[in-house]
Amino acid sequence: MLTSLWFDLCGRGGCSSSSSAFEHVFVGEIKGQKQGENEVSGFHKWIQFYLEESNGNVDYQGYIFPRRRGELPDSETQLLTIQFEWHGVLKSVSSTLICVSPEFEIALYTLCFFAGGEDNHVDIGPYSVNIKVLQVGG
């Protein structure tokens, strides 16, 4: 069931081809290539961001102040909302958990999927976040 959930191909609106949930979350994808209005979708893993930036594929354009705490990110911050371009396509708002393992994120997102809702309000340490889940299939 987990293999199917994370690695079966599924089409999402505007995608030029099918991808898996794993690819969407951990690698990222560019939607709307056929419509001419490109948009970065997914791409939430800090390791992927680091690798793509190191290869010159990401243009980091800054962070957005944490709303709840009203403080500046520091070396202890593990949740960032950032803006960037990936292969020249803008992602104006993207949240990422910094320095957490893929295993933690797979477990967290899987639990949210099985909770059944699109919006899943959870507390992760000092952060209150809304994990969005697309329920696919039928």
Confirm whether 114 is domain-assigned: no
Look at residue 111 and tell me whether its pLDDT is greater than 90. yes
Q: How far apart are CA 88 and CA 28, in angstroms?
A: 14
Between 25-29, 34-38, 47-51, 90-94, the lowest mean confidence (pLDDT) is in: 34-38
CA angle at residue 125 from 75 to 92, to 5 degrees? Answer: 65
pLDDT tier, 114 (very low <50, low <70, confident <90, very high otherwise): very high
Is the pTM higher than 0.75? The answer reads yes
- Is residue 126 one of the residues assigned to a domain? no
Q: Which of 44, 87, 121, 132 is catalytic?
A: 44
- In a domain, residue 45? The reply is yes
Q: In terms of residue numbers, what domain contains 48?
A: 2-99
The mean pLDDT of the chain is: 84
Catalytic residue, candidates 31, 91, 121, 132: 91
- pLDDT interval class at 63 (50, 70, 90): confident
Residue 129 lies in a domain: no
Overall domain count for the chain: 1
Residue 57 in any domain: the answer is: yes
How distant, in Å, are the alpha carbons of 8, 62, 99, 108, 133 from that of 77?
A: 33, 15, 9, 19, 24
